Structure 1
Amino acid sequence: MTNQLFDFGMIGLGVMGQNFLYNLADHDFKVLGFDKDIKKTTALEAEAPQGTIVKGVNSLEDLVSGLATPRRIMLLVPAGKPVDDVINSLRPLVEPGDVIIDGGNSHYTDTLRRVNDLHATGIHFMGMGVSGGEQGARTGPSIMPGGNQIAWHAVQPILEAVAAKVNGVPCVSYLGTGAAGHYVKMVHNGIEYAIMQLISEAYDILRRGLELSNDELHDVFKTWNEGRLQSFLIEVTRDIFGFKEPDSDQYLIDLIKDQAKSKGTGKWTSQEAMDLAVSIPTIDMAVAMRNLSVYKEERVQAAGIYQSKAGHINFTDEMLSGLEQSLCFCFTIAYAQGLSMLASASTAHSMEIPLADVVQVWKG
């Protein structure tokens, strides 16, 4: 290591971790990265944007000693035991005042436990949701941090620089105490489940009811993405209708098996809403439909027994406009349910979640 001290450290150099560091480096921050896989550490430096200061290290000791104080260290590792293992490895290396950030999708109860545990040692722990996937991490994600104000002020300039911007306003804000950041991200993902289910049902009407071709479906979603439904999910839905298998005339959408897996955040949202006695039926049904999709064999058997009598629907511009309006209305309902849940949770868990700031962050 040189005598140069770095601004930010990352543990976990998968695509998300690597891209987040490159985003930081693009904004003139000096960054360090560590991964147990030495190939990823080497690639971090080799593929770094020209003119940036990006360094890979092969030990946690080198990572910690290379950072300016207060140290800002972010974890992008699988949720659960791996997070605890990394924290335990960092404990003897960091100092009071340093900030450890979990940027993965940890359950909020785990985050709250870690916040309280590390608080006793003077170490600040933040649970932070990061939305936007690999592309967002590279070019500007929506960022949902929670924890204490001291930790927030230590990372605020960095996060505001790299977050997505809408009308010049960064899509990041301090979202409350304790595990508020991961709680907000959990509900955010639950809302996404609902929106994806609504999009799939609109697709079913357009495909099986109106019998639109994939090219026509592409045009419909292209038009919708240029209006009030403009969003990342509508955009990627538009794009999938134009994607064909390499060296084939077959559309990928027609080859995808209709079974959906989940990472747990949607289920957690429904479970937590039940505990709070908050009604989020649109999100609940989206989770249930994912569970139902797994029963492929049973659904095929049932389809053979109970033949569908649904007929063709005559296509009209008015019908297409009505479907767009319906989607917009249902999206609004899904967000309203999620925000209602956050309001109740903020009181129940004393998280002081600022709902107006949540809405701004979610614009990214």
Structure 2
Amino acid sequence: MAQARIGLIGLGTMGAALALNIAEKGFPIAVWNRTTAVTRGFAAAAGPLAAHVIATETLAELVAAIAPPRAIILMVPAGQAVDDQLAALAPLLDADDLVIDAGNADFHDTNRRDASGLPFRFLGMGVSGGEEGARHGPAIMGGGDAADWDRVADVMTAIAARAEDGTPCAARMGDAGAGHFVKMVHNGIEYADMQMIAEVYGLMRDGMGMDAAAISSAFAGWNEGALQSYLIEISARVTAAADPHTGRPMVDVILDRAGQKGTGRWTAIEAQHLSAPIPVIEAAVMARNVSSRLDERLAGEARFGPAPQPIRIAPQTLEQALIAGKILCYAQGFAMISAASQRFGWTLDLPGIARVWRAGCIIRSAMLNDMAAALAEDPARNLVLAPFFASLIESALPGLRQVVAEGAAQGHALPALASGLMWFDLMRTGRGTANLIQAQRDFFGAHGFQRIDGLDDPHGPWGQSA
């Protein structure tokens, strides 16, 4: 075999799937895993694609197998493992070789690595879509020098998912950590979307007495309308599945303790640094954390009694609540990306990001076409103020308000949906209540305030009697 077009390190679930995708698209690929048996097993299981795979047993063999200037994808766990791998490659690579970190890296780490003076070229790249996406077409968000992206753009666009119009869902987002930042926000939105769907599932199960089959039917119906998306589609599928051991609905035998890799938490933390309000995402992270406290939740139920009580809400109202919640969540995510673009000087292309998310990734949704169009009209405008989405929110908001109000009255936990509604009500209030907070701050700390009449008198008469 001729030398490989590209190399890949790390043949775990995602790495193996991505390598097969690259090979299937006709690019010879050299692969290496620190456990030699894994590399050999991968090559043996590659079938007809093995003709495009060069399995190597040492890093030196891997480097020698790639045509220079080399490009190598890292698919290793985020954090120290990436730094260790970069250090191991340093004496083997030339200055014009390129290493691509395609794991779920913290964008701050990607910024640090980009600025650290590595003896080779470096790209950070977010890859979304799970194992299925990696194998058959993920969404790809690159970050780094434009010339470095251009060197591998043919491979990345070839393996990426395709939107309905045929556009590949792969693009360079900006410099350094921009790709991993956009992937991080994507994951935060993913947390929030999943949480809102779970909250509506809970209302149907616990408040309306619907069984898993009826819930599956509701999700499947919603997937034919404005909510058409990967997450609604798979929600219909998982609620329809039966446990092969008991015959019961599969979801009914799964422990309600949600795992997380940490990217949603990173999104919430970074939003605070950017002063970018993303309460739906923050509520979703909080809910996952609470889900892990099973013993405390059981103790709470024993002390205070089962919370959820029966509730009467039409399925169409639940659908409208999810439509409104989804728009509010995405609006918060795009606003956070906009804030980061200004803070870090990335000039992030918001409509371009929406287009990349249209296929391949976990949050792919029919709404993203309209979001891309709205963001192209005015990237600086909050998505909720775009005419198309403002009208959609106006029609869906009563449903969200009813679901949150009646759900709360009957003890149903709806943290993400409620947080979205509260954020929206703050955003539509021209004069809020922060004037009292400013008065309090001035009273105890002489922090000052601005007056609505423009007078230059920044402190109150707190020492005087009324």
- Residue 348 of structure 1 is aligned with which of 343, 346, 366? 343
Structural mapping, 1:253-292, within 5 Å: 253-292=251-290
Q: SS where residue 100 of structure 2 aligns?
A: strand
Counterparts in 2 of 1:163 and 1:69: CA distance versus 1, 3 Å: same
Residue 316 (structure 2) aligns with: 321
- Residue 250 of structure 1 is aligned with which of 228, 248, 251? 248
Any conservation in 2 of the 1:44–1:55 contact (CA below 8 Å)?
A: no
Task: Say whether 1:96 aligns with 2:121.
Answer: no
Structure 1, residues 20-53: CA drift from partner, whole Å, max 9, x if none?
1111111111011100111211122112241541
Shift of 1:74: 0.4
Distance 2:248 2:161 in 1: 35
Residue 64 (structure 2) aligns with: 65
- Residue 330 of structure 1 is aligned with which of 325, 332, 337? 325
Structure 1, residues 153-176: CA drift from partner, whole Å, max 9, x if none?
011111000000012000111100
Pairwise CA RMSD of aligned residues? 1.4
Which stretches in structure 1 are left out of the alignment for 5+ residues?
none
Distance 1:248 1:157 in 2: 48
Shift of 1:124: 1.7
Which stretches in structure 2 are left out of the alignment for 5+ residues?
360-466
Larger Rg: 2
Shift of 1:108: 0.9
Structure 1, residues 194-227: CA drift from partner, whole Å, max 9, x if none?
1111011010111111111111111111112232
Any conservation in 2 of the 1:9–1:74 contact (CA below 8 Å)?
A: yes
Any conservation in 1 of the 2:301–2:307 contact (CA below 8 Å)?
A: no
Any conservation in 2 of the 1:44–1:54 contact (CA below 8 Å)?
A: no
Code of the residue aligned with 1:337 in structure 2: it is Q
Structural mapping, 1:107-146, within 5 Å: 107-118=106-117, 121=119, 123-146=120-143
Q: SS where residue 178 of structure 1 aligns?
A: coil
Code of the residue aligned with 1:162 in structure 2: it is I
Shift of 1:331: 0.9
Residue 195 (structure 2) aligns with: 197
Code of the residue aligned with 2:318 in structure 1: it is L
Distance 1:10 1:209 in 2: 49
Distance 1:309 1:115 in 2: 50
Which deviates more from structure 2 when the two are superposed, residues 101-110 or residues 250-259? 250-259
Any conservation in 2 of the 1:118–1:125 contact (CA below 8 Å)?
A: no
Shift of 1:242: 2.2
Any conservation in 2 of the 1:26–1:49 contact (CA below 8 Å)?
A: no
- Residue 16 of structure 1 is aligned with which of 14, 17, 28? 14
Distance 1:262 1:165 in 2: 28
Residue 177 (structure 1) aligns with: 175
* Ranges of 4+ aligned residues in structure 1 off by more than 3 Å: 308-311
Which deviates more from structure 2 when the two are superposed, residues 258-267 or residues 74-83? 258-267
Distance 2:298 2:306 in 1: 12
Q: TM-score, normalised by structure 2?
A: 0.74
Distance 2:225 2:233 in 1: 11
Any conservation in 1 of the 2:33–2:57 contact (CA below 8 Å)?
A: yes
Which deviates more from structure 2 when the two are superposed, residues 340-349 or residues 288-297? 288-297
Any conservation in 1 of the 2:76–2:103 contact (CA below 8 Å)?
A: yes
- Residue 216 of structure 1 is aligned with which of 208, 214, 217? 214
Distance 2:47 2:84 in 1: 31
Q: TM-score, normalised by structure 1?
A: 0.95
Identity %: 39
Distance 1:282 1:54 in 2: 44
Q: SS where residue 245 of structure 1 aligns?
A: coil
Any conservation in 2 of the 1:118–1:124 contact (CA below 8 Å)?
A: no
Code of the residue aligned with 2:352 in structure 1: it is D
Code of the residue aligned with 2:57 in structure 1: it is N
Shift of 1:323: 1.2
Q: SS where residue 325 of structure 2 aligns?
A: helix
Distance 1:347 1:309 in 2: 44
Residue 149 (structure 2) aligns with: 152
Q: SS where residue 103 of structure 2 aligns?
A: coil
